[in-house]
Structure 1
Amino acid sequence: MGYTPSGGASNFAASNPADALIDLFHGIKTPYRANGVWMMNSTTLGAIRKFKDGQGRYLVNIQGLDNTPVTTILGRPVVEAPDMPDVGANTTPVIFGDFSQGYRIFDRTSLSILRDPYSQATNGMTRFHGRRRVAGGVGKAEAIRKLKIATS
């Protein structure tokens, strides 16, 4: 999975911080942009919501077409992921891409169910234990791109 540098050593570039997001957006191939989604934590989203264009309009739109609250950046939805890192030197606080194409979740073992008639027998109940193992990983690296806080 590739990355796009932010232009700043410990934050977004000071001259125009929105440029890093635009570069990240255009850093993936066109077919993946159509279904692209931004992923970041709430602190990073709060910092990005302060970005403005040349006319003083905010870059992040928080209202959908029918006045429903939808957070979008450059017309694409934002997903808040609390496990993403905050903005800092050598971190990747923002990811953009088509996760349905780029990331796969699959079964490691099929669902197994164990019937336990003994532990709750005094209550007239039977307990069932279910177990399923899943895994996930990057399937198509070209569909997802990270923003790295770095100068290059």
Structure 2
Amino acid sequence: MKKKKLLEMRAAKQKRMKEILEAATNEERALNTEERDEFGTLEEEIRGIDETIKAMESMRNLEKEPEEPKKEEGSQEERDLETFESFLRGTAGETRADNMTSTDNGAVIPSSIANKIIEKVLDISPVFYDADRYNVKGTLTIPYYDEATGDITMDYAEEFTEGESTSGKFKSISLAGFLGRAITDVSKSLINNSNFDIVNFTINRMAKSIAKWIEKELLIGTNKKIEGLQGVTQKVTAKAADKVTADEIIDLQESIPDVYQADAYFIMNKKTRTAIRKLKDGQGNYLLNKDANSRWGYTLFGKDVYTSDAMPEMAAGKRAIYYGDYKGLAVKVSEDVTIDVLRETKARQHVVEVLAFLEMDAKVQNAEMLAALEMAAA
């Protein structure tokens, strides 16, 4: 019997029960024996119909095929990585439009991929990592207190006497934005190898290229572009053009106030470090020591030593060593770091071109925190 027929039967019985009650009510009497028996029978039959309908619904639910559990979607970053790999391999298909901005020859990669590259750059370049970084758009103005023009002083005071006010001046540096570009060509032979981790390979290649450029600009700078540590004003000048002495390194280290010594370290070219490794004190002990607990394996007068290929070798007029706390260097990086993948521009060379664009500027914001050792002029 169908559910519709059962419901019709239930409604008819319910109507009859109502009629029995209304008849007794209108006649202002109680139900007689015959009416009570009929009412009870109808009530029992309605209860049986309800149980039958409930059983039919339960059976219908049991006959339904269970739905397959929905596949959990990964995080946005995981989806972006998957789409990035698909685009590199040329299998992006229809998913490309949802996760990437298409161009005539390729696509602009989501910001999560660009952020992973910047994270790698921070791992590669300690100077960039330790600098005071600002991720903002437009020109950034940073005020600083110039104690060279005077300083706030405190002294004993006597009643009914006036003191003299002294103070320095607030000055500021402005960080604009200079556009840099890194280009990496990825072989299609590598891309077509499904067992090769093309995503991490591309991210690491781009990170190394960007880190090399950033570190060079922070340490050396470019005239009329990024100033970097060119703006260091505290310096010690070596007596020779091609070698340094222990006393000169001590003078360099002591030019930084004690309050900034805790996080200070040396930066130099590897050949400069090699030369310093040969320096000895009066007892014949080497000044530069291997130290497993240091960041880069060596300490000089108790401070870590970092070598960078961007630093010049010891030569006439060159700044061969920097020392200090590199939070004294302000670095502004635009929020809009972009990564483009171009599949067609170098198709004849069987490579895919990956470009990164980065807007950056850097200047010294606290001159007391940094110092340079400059070689003598020729």
TM-score (normalizing by structure 1): 0.76
CA, structure 1 residues 37+110, in 2 after alignment: closer, same or farther (shift >3 Å)?
A: same
Select the structure of larger CA radius of gyration: 2
Structure 1 SS opposite 2:319? coil
CA distance in 2, matches of 1:141, 1:150: 22
Aligned to 2:370: 144
Cα drift, residue 92 of structure 1? 1.0
Count of residues in correspondence between the two structures: 137
CA distance in 2, matches of 1:90, 1:79: 21
Question: Which shifted more, 142-151 or 42-51?
Answer: 142-151
Structure 2 SS opposite 1:22? helix
Higher RCO (Cα < 8 Å, 6 or more apart): 1
Aligned to 1:11: 242
In the alignment, structure 1 residue 76 sits paired with structure 2 residue 303: yes
Aligned to 1:30: 258
CA, structure 1 residues 69+62, in 2 after alignment: closer, same or farther (shift >3 Å)?
A: farther
Matched to 1:19, the amino acid is D
CA, structure 1 residues 115+32, in 2 after alignment: closer, same or farther (shift >3 Å)?
A: same
Cα drift, residue 25 of structure 1? 0.4
Kept after mapping to 2: 8 A contact 1:108/1:135:
no
In the alignment, structure 1 residue 49 sits paired with structure 2 residue 280: no
Cα drift, residue 134 of structure 1? 2.4
Question: Which shifted more, 83-92 or 71-80?
Answer: 83-92
Kept after mapping to 2: 8 A contact 1:109/1:134:
no
Cα drift, residue 64 of structure 1? 3.0
Unaligned runs of 5+ in 2: 1-231, 345-353
Cα drift, residue 51 of structure 1? 0.5
Aligned to 1:123: none
User: Identity of paired residues, percent?
Assistant: 29
Cα drift, residue 138 of structure 1? 1.5
Deviations 1:90-146 (A, max 9, x none): 1110000000x2112222353457899x97xxxxxxxx9874422222221211100
Cα drift, residue 39 of structure 1? 0.2
Matched to 2:332, the amino acid is F
Cα drift, residue 81 of structure 1? 1.1
Kept after mapping to 2: 8 A contact 1:62/1:69:
no
CA distance in 2, matches of 1:79, 1:112: 30
Matched to 1:139, the amino acid is Q
Aligned to 2:93: none
CA distance in 1, matches of 2:325, 2:338: 32
Structure 1 SS opposite 2:286? coil
Give the alignment's Cα RMSD to 1 decimal.
3.0
Aligned to 1:62: 290
Unaligned runs of 5+ in 1: 120-127
CA, structure 1 residues 106+61, in 2 after alignment: closer, same or farther (shift >3 Å)?
A: same
Structure 2 SS opposite 1:44? helix
Deviations 1:23-79 (A, max 9, x none): 10001111111111100010100000101001100000112359x972111111111
Structure 2 SS opposite 1:24? helix
Kept after mapping to 2: 8 A contact 1:41/1:84:
yes
CA distance in 1, matches of 2:376, 2:356: 45
Matched to 1:41, the amino acid is N
Higher strand share: 1
Higher helix share: 2
CA distance in 1, matches of 2:324, 2:368: 9
Kept after mapping to 1: 8 A contact 2:330/2:364:
yes
Structure 1 SS opposite 2:336? strand
Matched to 1:80, the amino acid is T
Matches within 5 A, 1:87-126: 87-99=314-326, 101-111=327-337
